[in-house]
């Protein structure tokens, strides 16, 4: 019986060892499967994170582009309107320079001119500086050249008509006399 018990014990131990080996192999396979799933998940997370960053950058660029487009459109609309108002301002300035004995009338004209100039300033429209500045064909239109020893080359001596600019866009070029 002891021989039989030993054989049975030995067979039971072998069976347990085989079962332990199978369990160990199953656990190692499961670990490998989990590890590959973790690696795959990390790759997927990296890909999704990269896609997120790209989409976020594209959205930020879109926002900047639309803001620039809106500002450009706004400036274009304002300049279209202001082109029609500028001759009125010119005429009011001529009326003031002509002078009158009626001071109340003159003050009324000055007040209307100031209101129009305030509207221009509120909308970002600025006068182009001319007299004493260097001639710039982007901003000025030369109607005449004169020789003046007091002024340097390409210096603006006189302004015939005021020019206006909004942002970087010229609404109307200044008409000027250029020296030398």
**SS3 category, 161:** strand
User: For 97-119, how does the pLDDT look when each residue is reduced to its tens digit (9 = 90+)?
Assistant: 998 899 999 999 999 999 999 99
pLDDT top residue among 13 and 144: 144
Average pLDDT of the residues of the chain:
90
Query: For residue 20, is pLDDT > 80?
Result: no
The pLDDT assigned to 4 comes to: 72
What's the confidence (pLDDT) of residue 1? 55
Mean pLDDT of 150-165: 91
Q: Does position 9 have pLDDT exceeding 70, yes or no? A: yes
Tell me the per-residue pLDDT of 55-76, one tens digit each, with 9 for 90 and over.
Answer: 999 999 999 999 999 998 998 8
- Position 162 scores a pLDDT of 94
Is residue 122 within 8 A of residue 82, CB to CB? The reply is no
The residues pairing with 158 across neighbouring beta strands, listed in sequence order, are: 177
Q: Please give the full DSSP string across 51-80, using - where no structure is assigned.
A: HHHHHHHHHHHHHHHHHHHHHHHHHHHHHH
Residue 10 pLDDT grade (very low, low, confident, very high; cuts 50, 70, 90): confident
**84 pLDDT more than 90:** yes
pLDDT at 180: 81
The first and second tokens of residue 104, run together, are 């109340």
């Amino acid at each position: 019986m002891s021989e039989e018990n030993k054989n049975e014990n030995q067979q039971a131990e072998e069976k347990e060892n085989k079962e332990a080996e199978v369990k160990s192999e199953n656990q190692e396979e499961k670990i490998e499967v989990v590890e590959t799933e973790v690696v795959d998940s990390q790759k997927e997370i990296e890909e999704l994170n990269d896609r997120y960053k790209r989409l976020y950058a594209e959205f930020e660029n879109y926002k900047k582009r639309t803001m620039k487009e809106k500002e450009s459109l706004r400036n274009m609309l304002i300049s279209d309107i202001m082109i029609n108002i500028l001759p009125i301002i010119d005429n009011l300035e001529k009326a003031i320079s002509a002078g009158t004995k009626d001071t109340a009338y003159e003050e009324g004209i000055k007040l209307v001119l100031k209101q129009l100039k305030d509207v221009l300033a509120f909308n970002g429209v600025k006068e182009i500086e001319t007299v004493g500045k260097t001639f710039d064909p982007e901003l000025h239109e030369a109607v005449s050249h004169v020789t003046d020893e007091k002024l340097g080359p390409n210096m603006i001596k006189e302004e015939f008509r005021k020019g206006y600019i909004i942002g970087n866009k010229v609404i109307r070029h200044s008409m000027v006399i250029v020296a030398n």
